[in-house]
Amino acid sequence: MGKLLIVGTVAFDAIESPFGKTDKILGGAATFIGLAAAQFKLDSAIVSIVGDDFPQSYLDLLKNKGIDISGIEIVKNGKTFFWKGKYHNDLNSRDTLITDLNVLADFDPKVPSNFKDADVLMLGNLHPNLQLNVIQQMEEKPKLIALDTMNFWMNNTMPELKEVIRHTDVITINDEEARQLTNEYSLVKAAQKIQAMGPKYVVIKKGEHGALLFHDDEVFFAPALPLEEVFDPTGAGDTFAGGFVGYIAETENISFNNLRNAVIHGSNLASFCVEKFGTERMLQLTKEEVDRRLDQFKQLTQFDIELK
Ligand code: AMP
């Protein structure tokens, strides 16, 4: 059983999708990562920041999933990070309507002392300088440093982002972001360029079209499960990342073969996330449901062709 340290936003989200609207609900990259990783046998902790407008009941939800929240700072009279997004009709694309950094603007992350030797460090979506700051606080080099980011940071902090990418082993980004980061339309070329920036492994998420894992000349592809109900894709990328690193932390194995399985676990968990608004589905998820769907994944992708 490994130790997983997660850094990222814990937030209020407001979402508009063709299926409805929500007011401020529980969201944030670290929240979705933590809830997905909680499906695995590991010790996990979140480093983040909220204002005192953030309900204790939301923090309790994370704590009750076994996540160490001692690294979530609560700022007196502070306002929690707020993000508002609107999905287009196909749910594959969205516009960010509001990003209010609030307490995140002055965040000075503090890694709890018992997580400074974490096996896996997941740098969730956050200002790249803060991601770098957390790497520097680690007393031992983690076996794996994974990074997720978003177009917001590419638009505003590209040089800092490139610096943190240099220190990571694996990056998980979506196809549009991979293209923006590299100016390459071909995802194969984009992955090669990203590997040249530092990470040995590159995961490119393609929403309902699955995910690709690149390592040197090897490529692995996992489809997304075709689903009957898709309500809200918010957090699907983070949930994928949480499942991916959660499985790696549990198995403590960073071979390419094991990373392939990690991609399947990430895709599996992300398939639940999109079925309800926000974190709702992830909060109710049972091990039986997860296992049943893993089996569906197997059925979906197995075939028996003999090469002559
Ligand atoms: P995803 O749908 O996986 O891209 O992640 C959406 C989550 O990321 C939401 O819960 C937001 O609170 C959070 N988020 C949105 N914008 C940012 C940002 N610029 N930095 C960090 N987290 C963000």
- What is the distance of C-alpha 211 from the center of its chain? 13
pLDDT at 38: 98
Show the domains of the chain with their CATH numbers: 3-301 (3.40.1190.20)
pLDDT at 1: 75
Pocket of ligand 1 (CB under 6 A): 9, 11, 13, 27-29, 83, 99, 125-126, 150, 152, 234-238
pLDDT at 68: 98
The minimum-distance atom of ligand 1 relative to the CA of 236 is 3
pLDDT at 208: 86
CA 28 – ligand 1 centroid, Å: 5
| Coil, strand or helix at 297 | helix
Helices (H), the chain: 29-37, 56-64, 128-137, 151-156, 158-166, 175-182, 187-197, 236-251, 256-273, 280-284, 287-301
Who's near 242: CB < 8 A, 6+ residues apart? 6, 32, 33, 34, 35, 36, 37, 122, 266, 269
Percent of the chain with pLDDT over 90: 88
The minimum-distance atom of ligand 1 relative to the CA of 237 is 3
At which residue do the structure tokens 């499985």 appear?
247
Q: What is the token pair recorded at 63? A: 């704590």
Q: Which residue's CA lies nearest to atom 9 of ligand 1? A: 28
pLDDT at 175: 94
Per-position b or e across 94-105, b if 16+ CB within 10 A of its CB: eeeeebeebbbe
Q: Which residue's CA lies nearest to atom 6 of ligand 1? A: 235
CA 260 – ligand 1 centroid, Å: 25
Do the Cβ atoms of 279 and 26 come closer than 8 Å? yes
Alpha carbon distance 217, 202 (integer Å): 12
CA 301 – ligand 1 centroid, Å: 30
CA 125 – ligand 1 centroid, Å: 6
Residue 76: exposure state from Cβ atoms within 10 A (0-12, 13-18, ≥19):
exposed
Do the Cβ atoms of 45 and 71 come closer than 8 Å? yes
pLDDT at 230: 87
pLDDT in tens, the chain (308 residues): 799 999 999 999 999 988 889 989 999 999 999 999 999 999 999 999 999 999 999 999 999 999 999 999 999 999 999 999 999 988 878 899 999 999 999 999 999 999 999 999 999 999 999 999 999 999 999 999 999 999 999 999 999 999 999 999 999 999 999 999 999 999 999 999 999 999 999 999 998 899 999 999 999 999 998 888 888 899 999 999 999 999 999 999 999 999 999 999 999 999 999 999 999 999 999 999 999 999 999 999 888 898 88
- Residue of 15, 82, 125 to mutate, ligand 1, most atoms within 8 A of C-beta: 125
CA 29 – ligand 1 centroid, Å: 5
Encode pLDDT of 26-81 as tens digits: 999 999 999 999 999 999 999 999 999 999 999 999 999 999 999 999 999 999 99
- Residue of 6, 7, 9 to mutate, ligand 1, most atoms within 8 A of C-beta: 9
Q: What is the pTM of this model?
A: 0.96
